[in-house]
Structure 1
Amino acid sequence: MVQLPEPVAEYTSPLPPQRSERLQSLHHFIVERYPRAQLSLKYKMPTYEVDKGWVAIANQKNYVSLYTCAREHIQPYIDSHPKVKCGTGCLNFRDGDEIAWADLEPVLASAFSKGH
């Protein structure tokens, strides 16, 4: 994989290998599809902004999360994968969960195009 930007490398380096790899995979998934996304640690986690929309990735105790600002962005993923753990505007991937990468594409498209 391509070298990580410093904010992502610093965020993921203290994590257990499996968790670090999952977050790095999410990072690469996002920037491969949205190379002009602006990366920051705006919410104390890697945050990607395109125009007025954003997503963020985070490490939690037992899972990694993909945050968006609204349920409408993640609802198609939840509809296709009803067992996925989720919050109001986030998807939480437990350590053993498979990530349906192709089904994340509409989540990103919605979050980046509609914003808040």
Structure 2
Amino acid sequence: MLLYALVPTLPRLDSNSNPDVEDYLERTPSVRSEKLMDLVDSIREEFSDLRESLKYGMPTFERNGRWVAFSNHKSHLSIYFCEESFVRAFRAKFPKLESGKSCVIIKDKEKFPSSYLKTLLKKTLH
């Protein structure tokens, strides 16, 4: 704590935050940073026992052996799920949006299904 008193420009992280994850989130381009932070904040608020880390260069959030990860790309955001069934559920609800085997892809110009993604993320981590 003394360090924060001496250097007031350092960010204060909550006790569960990982500095590497925070750095990644802060460096996300503004075109998708608000969307990404909204999703991250929603799972942080829901689960006090999340483990945060960078895995394969992606912010990863783990709980009870289950995980979700986010990846920032040039023109889209990818959200990775620990189980393919969550991607299939997303695909069924939004068939026109792109997805991979274990991820959903939200392009910058597409409507962002924030509410549904928050629900899916919370189900994934329960």
Tell me which interval the TM-score lies in, with the shorter structure as reference length: 0.7 to 0.9
SS at match of 1:86: coil
Unaligned runs of 5+ in 1: none
Residue type matched to 1:25 in 2?
D
Instruction: Give the SS at the match of 1:40.
Output: strand
Match of 1:76 in 2: 89
Between the two proteins, what is the percent identity of the paired residues?
30
Q: Report the alpha carbon displacement of residue 47 of structure 1 after superposing the two structures with TM.
A: 0.3
Which of structure 1's runs of 4+ aligned residues deviate more than 3 A?
Answer: none
Residue 21 of structure 1 corresponds to: 34
The one-letter code matched in structure 1 to 2:46 is R
Would you say the 8 A contact 1:70–1:88 is kept in 2?
no
Higher mean displacement: 60-69 or 23-32: 23-32
Extract unaligned runs of 5+ from structure 2.
Answer: 1-12
Instruction: Tell me the TM-score normalized by structure 1.
Output: 0.79
For the residues of structure 2 that align with 1:98 and 1:32, how far apart are their CA atoms?
24
Q: Is 1:65 matched up with 2:78?
A: yes
Asked whether 1:56 is paired with 2:63, we answer no
Q: CA deviation at 1:97?
A: 2.0
**Aligned residue pairs, count:** 111
Shift of the alpha carbon at 1:45?
1.1
In the aligned structure 2, how far is the partner of 1:47 from the partner of 1:13? 15
Aligned-pair distance for 1:66? 0.9
Aligned with 2:116 (options 88, 103, 106):
103
Superposed displacement of residue 56, structure 1: 0.5
